Amino acid sequence: MSTTTVTPASAGPAGAAPSRAVAAEEGRSGPRTHLRHVGALVRRNLLQIKKDPESMFDVLLMPVVFTLLFVYVFGGSVGGSLGGDRQDYLNYLVPGLMAMMGMNIAMAVGTGVNDDFRKGVMDRFRTMPIARSCVLVAKIVVELGRMTVATLILLAMGFALGMELGTSVAGLAGAVALSAVFSAAMMWVFILLGLAMKTAQAVQGTAMIVLMPLQFGSSIFAPPQTMPGWLQTFTDYNPLSHLADAVRGLMMGGPVAHSVGWTLAWAAGITLVTAPTAVAKFRKKA
């Protein structure tokens, strides 16, 4: 009796065949499959938070600390420059803090991606037939949820201190949504930074160097009219100024078309440039 032996076709270099299989599976996956993958990865990230509740301390405490610090330390002097008092500064500050907090929380996406590579989590994702973009989108979805929690705490703190809503609930909802859209765009920047840096500490340090001038050289904490001329020029082109002014207009009243338009333009431009670059670098790195 003769035995027929089937010899598998050459797979080329080790790992090449699985990589081609994963790539082929990614190409066949439709939007519904991608949504299912994103949902599974979101659950995985939420379970991480459940196991490490300390990771929510920044979300829970940062709105309280920043509101109390700036209102009671700078409220008297800056409120006077606004032609009012500490109460007027509270109404000015809280919408600006919504823009600032979104940036600080967005920074966590970059450190999280970098940490997952260091721990080898991405090696497992590499063997799974999922689109690489799903891993990054799931990170953004979870951080947007964290940002929403921080925003709600900030608003509750503001109203507890006497903040007055000058428009309507619809305007408030629009302000929260606009902050989320811009923060999602900035998360792609921090993801790209997390993929480029070697350590999470380097990501955090570099991000702070970028964020500090953008945050304090804007209309978040003080009106630009009180700043030197050269700094006012920087503030006029600062995307965080557009965001803060748009959120302030939606919540407190005033013209918003110009600021909202510029904020959405910045968000679209940042996303179109950084999102494809981040996904491409993630594929190469993974």
Which pTM value belongs to this model?
Answer: 0.83
Q: Please give the tally of structural domains in the chain.
A: 1
Task: For residues 259 and 24, give the distance between their C-alpha atoms in angstroms, rounded to a whole number.
Answer: 44
Per residue, the 3-state secondary structure of 223-263, as one string, reads CHHHCCHHHHHHHHHCHHHHHHHHHHHHHHCCCCHHHHHHH
Host domain of residue 248: 31-285
Q: What is the pLDDT of residue 279?
A: 87
The pLDDT of residue 266 is 96
What pLDDT, on the 0 to 100 scale, is given for residue 123? 63
Cα 20 to chain centroid distance, Å, stands at 32
Residue 200 falls inside a structural domain: yes
Any domain includes 102:
yes
pLDDT score for 28: 52
Looking at the domain assignment, is residue 20 inside a domain?
A: no
Q: What angle do CA 61, 40, 60 make, to 5 degrees?
A: 5
Per-residue pLDDT, 99: 86
**pLDDT in the model for residue 227:** 87
State residue 17's pLDDT score.
Answer: 42
Chunked mean pLDDT (size 10), the chain, 286 residues: 42 43 50 79 82 80 90 83 82 91 84 79 68 82 91 94 92 94 93 87 88 90 88 92 95 92 96 92 75
Q: In the prediction, which pLDDT does 24 show? A: 44
Sign of CA dihedral 114, 115, 116, 119: positive
91 is a domain residue: yes
Which residue do the tokens 């964020």 mark?
Answer: 211
CA distance 246 to 262: 9
DSSP string, 149-211: HHHHHHHHHHHHTT---SS-HHHHHHHHHHHHHHHHHHHHHHHHHHHHSSSHHHHHHHHHHHH
